[in-house]
């Protein structure tokens, strides 16, 4: 006998029915040519060709409880409000001018801002399209809000199809270039999705289009949801924002080079135009450097990064995002040894709260409200340069919610006692292992499983700790050279820390060269013979912006800059290179 779901009052559907209905709701309609089909046509196809055990009548009843009905069943009033909600306000002539009153008040009240924007849309639509009574619209929506009779309703509300439609519509914004990562992967593929050199090259070409004068900013999004094959977190499958780099040891060097090209292009663009990334899913640790190539990363409650050594990517790319880990934001609640603590923990899952505490995440959006929040943030990109960046940042601060407490900050005492000595070089990984064995605590046991028992994991811990120590005194280009050289040798089986950190990249050595970019001629110092600005990988054509001459002076003699508030200046920089 099938059991009834009793968690939510009013639910009359069995467990088996809900599971089948879930498979219907998550079904990809694009490959079968029904992306734009109505509900009745989709139901007929599904019960005929996909799951004949589903009762079409019961499925239709369940869809009604979710507020999903065929267009033929809608009243004239409901059809009017559907047309209003689906109207493209982002590209509507003159609508952006109406938003001046929305942000005119000094106070920042998210609820009030939402209400003003909705009223402005209703006023515009009623004036330019067809009559619409705003108060009647609100009353209708309140009266017809679907009741939560399904205990898994949160799983339906953010379906692939809904997210894909609502987010892809954002490409209609005239002043912002949108790079949708979902465009570069096959959503119907059952194989593990990976970032290959070819895919990263195509993404880079898309980024290059953002240099056009008509674009004020670049937004990196993903309108689709992929699922890793390696299980779940907290019982839920993991939506993927940035998948792993191609994990083939013989292609590790070429793959990392393609990643570096993409990272550099994003950083170069961010020098002149804002680049906002809406990270709405899992980011593999090997691709973290790509995500951190902009100063404006907005996460959601679906965001996560796992940086331990248990994944195949950590075994192939042990030093991913080396520069960023070595130079954690000084404005964050960062303590010496934090990077070592994070990178040596095999189980720590970095979510939005931890990401913000480390100084990487600048905003946090609720996944349930992601689409409307993104729309309002992107509307701010209509503010012309040089104010676009500031407008976007204010917009995502207004939209942001509290991401929750950081798990990393809880362990400040342990970080200061056991991991800060690794950062200073006063203790080695072997010393840490001896200490952790002696304290016999559960958290210490986890670290020992990573760095103490398995030889390959211990090698990863050792090279990460030593590389972090070296990279803290390096500029961006030199840190990339270290990451590329060490990864190349690592993929060939080298495990000696000294040899890995002194590795030379032969045919693509990051040697000094002049900066040659059609997109940024202001930094071209070839006429003066100044080659300190960039490094290049020779015949492979990778150009890496070098360190500012003033930054070089600061490294040599920090006391010369004591009278300058460097933290205040850093807040106004486009990106900390």
Q: Show the 3-state SS of 217-232.
A: EEEEECCCCCEEEEEE
CA triplet 220, 540, 183: central angle to 5 degrees? 25
* Residuewise pLDDT in 10s, the chain (577 residues): 344 434 455 567 777 777 777 778 777 787 788 877 888 888 888 888 888 888 888 888 877 776 677 666 678 888 898 889 888 887 788 887 777 666 655 555 566 777 888 888 999 999 999 999 999 998 888 877 655 455 555 444 444 444 444 444 555 677 889 999 988 887 555 566 789 999 999 999 999 999 998 899 999 998 865 554 444 433 345 688 999 999 888 898 899 999 999 999 999 999 899 999 999 989 999 999 999 998 899 999 889 998 765 567 888 899 999 999 998 855 455 678 899 888 888 778 899 999 998 889 999 998 888 888 888 898 888 888 888 999 999 999 989 988 888 888 788 888 889 898 988 888 888 888 888 888 888 888 878 876 655 667 788 888 999 999 889 888 888 888 899 999 989 988 888 888 888 875 543 333 332 223 323 322 333 322 333 334 333 333 444 455 555 655 665 566 777 777 766 665 554 444 4
Q: CA 33, 36, 39 angle in degrees (round to 5)? A: 100
Determine the pLDDT at residue 333. Answer: 53
Paired residues of 544 in beta bridges: 535
User: What is the DSSP code string of 121-181?
Assistant: HHHHHHHHTS---HHHHHHHHHHTPPP--STTHHHHHT-HHHHHHHHHGGGG-TTEEEEEG
Residues 6+ positions from 533 with CB-CB distance below 8 Å: 514, 515, 523, 525, 545, 546
Look up the pTM and report it.
0.65
SS3 for 358? coil
Q: Is the dihedral of CA 410, 414, 417, 423 positive or negative?
A: negative
Q: E strand or H helix at 283, and its extent?
A: strand 282-283
Residue 314: closest CA among 292, 283, 293, 285: 285
What are the structure tokens assigned to 478, written together? 């030199």
Relative orientation angle of helices 110-128 and 370-379, to the nearest 10 degrees: 80
Tokens representing 345 are 């923990």
Q: What is the pLDDT of residue 517?
A: 32
Q: What is the DSSP letter of 490?
A: H
DSSP calls for 377-440: HHHGGGSPTTSHHHHHHHHHHHH-------TTGGGHHHIIIIIHHHHHTSS-HHHHHHHHHHH-
Token pair belonging to 301: 């409650």
Which residues face 459 on adjacent strands?
A: none
In this predicted model, what pLDDT tens digit does every residue of 41-100 receive, in sequence order?
Answer: 888 888 888 888 888 888 888 777 766 776 666 788 888 988 898 888 877 888 877 776
Token code pair at residue 336 = 């010496």
Determine the Cα–Cα distance for residues 479 and 169; give it in Å rounded to an integer: 39
Distance CA 390, CA 248 (A): 41
Q: For residues 201 and 191, what is the distance between their CA atoms, to the nearest angstrom?
A: 21
Compute the Cα dihedral for 221, 225, 230, 233 and give only its sign. Answer: positive
Measured CA to CA, the distance from residue 196 to residue 64 in angstroms comes to 42
User: Which residues lie across from 179 on neighbouring strands?
Assistant: 220
Identify the bridge partners of residue 213 per DSSP, sorted by sequence position.
none
DSSP string, 42-66: HHHHIIIII-TTS-HHHHHHHHHHT
Distances (CA, A) of 238 to 241, 305, 381, 415: 9, 11, 30, 29
d(CA 423, CA 87): 54
Say if CB 150 and CB 62 are below 8 A apart: yes
Backbone angles phi, psi at 492, to 5 degrees: -90, 5
Reduced to 3 states, what is the DSSP secondary structure of residue 556? helix
User: What phi and psi values does residue 244 have, to the nearest 5 degrees?
Assistant: -70, 150
> Residue 478 has what pLDDT?
85
Name the residue with tokens 């399904």.
150
Q: Which residues pair with 565 in a beta bridge?
A: none
Question: Is the peptide bond prior to 389 cis by the omega test (within 30 degrees of 0)?
Answer: no
**Helix, strand, coil in percent for the chain, rounding step 5:** 55, 10, 35
């Amino acid at each position: 006998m099938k059991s009834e779901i009793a968690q939510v009052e009013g639910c009359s559907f069995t467990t088996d029915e809900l599971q089948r209905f879930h498979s219907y709701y998550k079904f990809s309609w694009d490959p079968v040519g029904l992306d734009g089909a109505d509900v009745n046509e989709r139901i007929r196809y599904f019960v005929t060709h996909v799951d004949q055990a589903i009762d079409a009548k019961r499925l239709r009843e369940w869809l009604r409880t979710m507020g999903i009905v065929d267009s033929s069943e809608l009243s004239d009033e409901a059809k009017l409000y559907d047309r209003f909600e689906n109207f493209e306000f982002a590209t509507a002539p003159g609508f952006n001018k109406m938003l001046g009153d929305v942000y005119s008040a000094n106070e920042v009240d998210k609820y009030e801002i939402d209400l003003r924007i909705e009223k402005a849309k209703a006023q515009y639509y009623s004036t330019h399209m067809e009559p619409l009574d705003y108060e009647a619209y609100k009353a209708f929506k309140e009266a017809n809000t679907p009741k939560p009779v399904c205990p898994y309703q949160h799983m339906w509300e953010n379906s692939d199809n809904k997210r894909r439609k609502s987010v892809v519509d954002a490409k209609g914004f005239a002043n912002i270039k949108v790079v949708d990562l979902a465009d570069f992967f096959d959503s119907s593929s059952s194989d593990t999705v990976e970032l290959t050199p070819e895919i990263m090259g195509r993404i880079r070409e898309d980024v290059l289009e953002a240099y056009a004068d008509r674009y004020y900013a670049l937004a990196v999004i993903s309108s689709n949801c992929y699922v890793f094959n390696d299980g779940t977190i907290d019982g839920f499958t993991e939506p993927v924002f940035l998948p792993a780099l191609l994990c083939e040891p013989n292609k590790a060097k070429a793959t990392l080079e393609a990643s570096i090209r993409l990272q550099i292009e994003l950083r170069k663009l961010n020098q002149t135009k804002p680049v906002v990334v809406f990270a709405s899913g899992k980011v593999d640790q090997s691709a973290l450097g790509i995500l951190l190539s902009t100063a404006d990363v907005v996460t959601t409650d679906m965001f996560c990064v796992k940086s331990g050594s248990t994944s195949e990517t950590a075994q192939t790319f042990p030093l991913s995002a080396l520069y960023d880990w070595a130079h954690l934001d000084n404005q964050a609640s960062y303590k010496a040894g934090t990077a070592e603590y994070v990178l040596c923990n095999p189980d720590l899952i970095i979510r939005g709260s931890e990401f913000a505490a480390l100084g990487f995440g600048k905003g946090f959006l609720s996944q349930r409200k992601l689409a409307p929040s993104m729309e309002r943030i992107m509307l701010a990109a209509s503010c012309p340069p040089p104010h676009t960046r500031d407008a976007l940042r204010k917009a995502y601060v207004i939209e942001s919610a509290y991401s929750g407490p950081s798990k990393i900050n809880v362990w400040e005492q342990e970080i200061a006692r056991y991991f800060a000595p690794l950062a200073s070089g006063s203790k080695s990984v072997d010393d840490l292992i001896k200490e952790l064995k002696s304290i016999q605590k559960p958290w210490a046991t986890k670290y020992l499983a990573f760095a103490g028992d398995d030889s390959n994991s211990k090698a990863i811990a050792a090279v990460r700790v030593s590389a972090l120590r070296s990279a803290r005194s390096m500029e961006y280009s030199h840190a990339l050279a270290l990451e590329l050289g060490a990864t190349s040798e690592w993929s060939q089986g080298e495990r000696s820390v000294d040899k890995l950190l002194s590795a030379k990249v032969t045919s693509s050595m990051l040697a000094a060269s002049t900066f040659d970019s059609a997109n940024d001629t202001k930094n071209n110092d070839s006429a003066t013979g100044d080659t300190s600005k960039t490094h290049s990988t020779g015949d492979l054509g990778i150009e890496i912006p070098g360190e500012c001459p003033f930054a070089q002076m600061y490294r040599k003699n920090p006391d010369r800059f004591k009278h300058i508030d460097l933290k205040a200046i850093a807040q106004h920089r486009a990106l900390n290179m």
